[in-house]
A and B are shown apart, each in its own frame.
Chain A
Amino acid sequence: MAGRLKATKKMKSIMKWYYIEAKYARYLGKKIAWITSGGPVEPLIAMNIIPIYPENHGAMIGASKKGGKMSEFAEGLGYSSDVCSYAKNDITSSITKESPIKGGLPKPDMLICSNNICGTVLKWYEIQARKFGVPLFIYDTPFVHTEFTEEAREYVNEQTKDYIRFLEKHTGKKFDYKKMKKVGKLSLEAMRLWKNVLETAEHKPSPMTAFDAFFHLALIVTLRGKKVVVKYYKQLLKELEVRNRNNVGAVDNEKYRLLWDNLPIWFRMRWLSEKFASHGAALVADTYTQAWCGVIDYVDENDFLSTMGEAYTRIHLNVGVDQMADTIKKFIKQYDVDGLVMHSNRSCKPYSFGQYDIQNLLQDEDIPVLMIEADMTDERKFSDSQAEARIDAFMEVIKQRKKEK
């Protein structure tokens, strides 16, 4: 039994102090910006602004199994039950202060919203900007149907300049280009390390599962550009490499390797991880956590600022289904997986909408695909017995196929 990764404790401590610092930001003379998960955070770090992620908070609410209840509150205010549960959780928490963090998220001084992850964030952030009476910056990334055009490059790079002017105006400070260079390098280094961490799972047996990745992801999302992230992932990487040298797998007797698509089902992480492990199956990779290192090649280490626009535009959720399917095909080979598990996520439309098309595009791969209907935080949209029947049947099919090979 591999047991828990030792780095986990360190990670919890880093996140704890991150939220404590944010809570007392005013005492430290720092400003707070709420930002979307795919938003360009590095300029904030360079300006000494603390980034806060309502989506990370939403995940914490989901993991604490409060997502259904908090969504219900927002629905009572008039939001449709089809609205993203991260948005509903955030809107609810900002009113009721209900939160896994005491007192809820610290009040923002400004909001930074990029629509590279979805369209919902635009309305969500507009609502919060009105509620808190703070300025909102929208970083608009054109959808990459097939290619990233020169016009698109010019369009996003213009916005990078606007973004800097926005930050200068609302902090009353000049933008620190020198620090930005350092932050850019650190951010890229963190992404590379994160990639290395995820790639340790190529080893058989895999030293980590997607469930580990979902957890250790928090730092690359929230604090990339800071030294602590680089240091942490170096430690995690070392621990995983030791596991690989000793052939220690995260799942006992790993027999089957699976790929996960979409966000986690935060309120059923343990149940799912135990369910798959009981079949000797390890979820060795996922498209979600890979998204934070999928665009490394588009960033110039020495000129982060003028290349980040392209990188932020080309992320997994902002490209056409052909490219999404190509990414999945790549992972199927890279991680040598026996099956694909797709979470059809009621909340996340851009992630879930093309899943059947992607399945069709994968037909040549000859790989069984399981679809689980759920939601990332709303437990009202999940049925244990239905999911169990599907998972058991899927694993029986995989076992049968593997026996025949």
Chain B
Amino acid sequence: MITLGIDIGSLTAKAVLYDGKQVMEKHLIPVGYNSKKAGVKLMEELLQKAGVDQTDIGKIVSTGYGRNSIDFAHKAVTEIICHGKGIHHQMPHIRTIIDIGGQDSKVIVLDKRGNVANFIMNDKCAAGTGRFLDVMARAMETEIHEFGLLSLQSENPSKISSVCTVFAESEIISLVAKGENREDITSGIHLSIARRIASMVKRLGMIPPVAMSGGVALNVGLVDALQKILDTKIETTPFSQYSGALGAALLAQEL
């Protein structure tokens, strides 16, 4: 059976088509202000890319913040379960997953069979989320994909003490004024968010091996900072951004 997993996040919408054995096609678009419209557009474009007709799809599962706005889905499941499922499928040995999303970050611990044993989400604040990185990249006038690479070049990371996104931004402006270099400030930013994530990981109790899921896993600077602070290897997959959608497509196979 062909199944479709749709992950409507706060910034991007992702979809994965799965044929029961492997991924047939994947697709990503920005969400914009209307998640319902985004869901329809996402599916249409994906089907066209894959050359599949909508009538060929057996079941659809939606996930992410906009999961309940996808009225053509057969079931809505939260991203916790979907990321767990998606990562377990790609890397069956993983026990702890760090997922940094647009408006929240989460740590998920899986049991030996790959089921979610426990999870924790960030408190009601944008610090430690993908949004924090976006704001900081803009403050540094850097493209988000270069942001991590820039941070790797630092030899002496700046100290960013504020945990608040808004205050950290003004802290950065004063560091720039003091003449600290971009690489060091950027590295400081990555260490600051990594420290916040690490405290969540510790709170839940990290069980290695650890993987990172979601779009922020593509940021090499953050993966590096987290590895340093948690003192453990963090695995990623090039498919990480689609892990939630993949998990949803896999869950649809079980419907």
B78 touches A400 (CB 8 A): no
For A394, list chain B residues within 8 Å (CB): 119
Of B80, B81, B120, B124, the contact of A383 (CB 8 Å cutoff) = B124
B77 touches A396 (CB 8 A): yes
B120 touches A371 (CB 8 A): yes
Stretch at the interface among A96-104, A153-161, A210-218, A385-393: A385-393
Among B117, B118, B120, max chain A CB count under 10 A is at B118
Number of CB contacts from chain A to chain B under 8 A = 47
A381-B78 contact given A368-B118, A400-B115, A400-B116, CB 8 Å threshold:
no
Nearest 6 A/B pairs, CB to CB: A393-B80, A393-B78, A373-B124, A392-B78, A396-B81, A397-B116
Q: List 19 A-B contacts (CB under 8 A).
A: A344-B123, A369-B118, A371-B120, A373-B123, A381-B124, A385-B65, A386-B104, A389-B65, A389-B78, A389-B79, A392-B78, A393-B80, A393-B81, A394-B119, A396-B78, A396-B80, A397-B116, A397-B119, A404-B115
B121 touches A390 (CB 8 A): yes
For A386, list chain B residues within 8 Å (CB): 104, 121, 124
For B118, list chain A residues within 8 Å (CB): 368-369, 397
Interface size class of A (residues with CB under 8 A): 20 to 34
Complex Cα spacing A299 to B46, Å: 70
For B77, list chain A residues within 8 Å (CB): 396
- Is A356's beta carbon under 8 Å from chain B? yes
Show the binding face of A for B, using Cβ within 8 Å. 344, 356, 359, 363, 368-369, 371, 373, 381-383, 385-386, 389-390, 392-394, 396-397, 400-401, 404
B123 touches A400 (CB 8 A): no
Of A356, A381, A397, the contact of B203 (CB 8 Å cutoff) = A356
Chain B window 65-107, contacts with chain A (Cβ cutoff 8 Å), 1 for yes, 0 for no: 1000000000001111100000000000000000000001000
Complex Cα spacing A397 to B110, Å: 11
Determine how close the nearest CB of chain B comes to the CB of A390; give it in whole angstroms. 6
Complex Cα spacing A404 to B117, Å: 12
For B121, list chain A residues within 8 Å (CB): 371, 386, 389-390, 393
A400 touches B65 (CB 8 A): no
Complex Cα spacing A383 to B123, Å: 11
Closest to B118 in A: A368
Closest to A382 in B: B124
Of B79, B123, B203, the contact of A393 (CB 8 Å cutoff) = B79
For B115, list chain A residues within 8 Å (CB): 400-401, 404
Closest to A366 in B: B117
For B79, list chain A residues within 8 Å (CB): 389, 393
Complex Cα spacing A404 to B77, Å: 18
Among residues 93 to 148 in chain B, which have CB atoms less than 8 Å away from a CB atom of chain A?
104, 115-121, 123-124
Complex Cα spacing A389 to B203, Å: 20
Complex Cα spacing A344 to B120, Å: 13
Complex Cα spacing A385 to B64, Å: 11
Determine how close the nearest CB of chain A comes to the CB of B177; give it in whole angstroms. 29
For A369, list chain B residues within 8 Å (CB): 118
Determine how close the nearest CB of chain B comes to the CB of A330; give it in whole angstroms. 22
Determine how close the nearest CB of chain B comes to the CB of A158; give it in whole angstroms. 43
Complex Cα spacing A363 to B203, Å: 11
For B123, list chain A residues within 8 Å (CB): 344, 373
Determine how close the nearest CB of chain A comes to the CB of B164; give it in whole angstroms. 13
Complex Cα spacing A58 to B211, Å: 46
Complex Cα spacing A344 to B203, Å: 15
Complex Cα spacing A401 to B115, Å: 8
B81 touches A400 (CB 8 A): yes
For B117, list chain A residues within 8 Å (CB): 397
Among B77, B78, B80, B116, max chain A CB count under 10 A is at B78
Complex Cα spacing A385 to B80, Å: 15
Closest to A387 in B: B124
Among A359, A386, A389, A401, max chain B CB count under 10 A is at A389
